[in-house]
Amino acid sequence: MIPDKEKIKKALKNVVDPEIGLNIVDLGLIYYIEISDDGKVRIEMTMTSPMCPAADMILENTKHFARTAEGVTAVEIALVWDPPWDPEKMSEEGKAQMDFM
């Protein structure tokens, strides 16, 4: 079974940036999810800052929770800095939680 992008995103909502207290999907840290026919998943993501002290933990948790989605056989994460993250990348739900509306 080929993994479903929405199920992967749902699994990734379990990954919370501990400094902000919001999940990485609603924060807008996930830029791209590519899924191959054999269940391999490649995630392009960023951090809120290049100096994020929780980056290693967030990356490890992202890989872990992506693997929990049905059909995922392997996960590769590419950490990117372009475009840089800004609060406008947050989902409406995330903005509401952070009072950015």
Could you give the domains of the chain?
A: 5-83 (3.30.300.130)
- When comparing pLDDT for 86 and 98, which is higher? 86
Q: Which of 23, 12, 25, 16 is nearest to 72 (CA)?
A: 12
pLDDT at 100 over 70: no
| Rounded Cα–Cα distance for residues 69 and 40 (Å) | 11
Q: Are 27 and 17 in contact (CB under 8 A)?
A: yes
Q: Which of the four pLDDT bands, split at 50, 70 and 90, describes residue 101?
A: very low
Alpha carbon of 73 to those of 14, 15, 16, 19, 44: distances in Å?
19, 19, 23, 30, 17
Alpha carbon of 15 to those of 2, 24, 37, 38: distances in Å?
22, 6, 25, 24
Q: What is the distance of C-alpha 72 from the center of its chain?
A: 15
Q: pLDDT per residue over 50-69, tens digit each? A: 999 999 999 999 999 999 99
